[in-house]
Amino acid sequence: PRMETNPCFTSHGKWEIGTKDGRKLVGSAQARSRGIFLEHGSILLENDQLKILDYLPEGISPKLMEVLRDNLSNGIASLREFRPGLTPEEMEEALHCSFSSALGADLERFPHEGLHGSRLRELVKDCMNDL
């Protein structure tokens, strides 16, 4: 269960992927509404989650900060722990191949830099027309 001292990526959902020692490796969230399905997933190459503590408001008790630091350090795993040197490009390629294989089609690639403004509106319109 999620608590004040248990940041999102350190709490585990039923369908998320963890390590044998109980750390979270892949986070996933879904939203479904009126025939639309949105999936958000997080796969960490490196565990740099401690940086989030720099953005918390002043006045947080040292005890709470220590619990947060412990959860962020010890509750999360990263892919590079298991495959040192893994690049974002290698991960992108592996995901593309896996999704294409699972869906039985070579998926079209969209660079994330181009997914905004008019291009994003065009893609959303195309998806809505397919429903």
Question: DSSP assignment of 3-55, as one string?
Answer: -TTS-GGGS--TT-EE-TTS-EEEEEEEEEETTEEEEEEEE-SS--GGGGGGG
Interior angle at CA 126, CA 125 and CA 128, nearest 5? 65
8: annotated active-site residue:
yes
Catalytic-labelled residue, pool 3, 8, 29, 97:
8
85: its two tokens: 């040197």
How far, in Å, CA of 18 to CA of 13, rounded? 10
Cα atoms found within 13 Å of the Cα of residue 71, Cβ hemisphere only: 19
Catalytic residues: 8
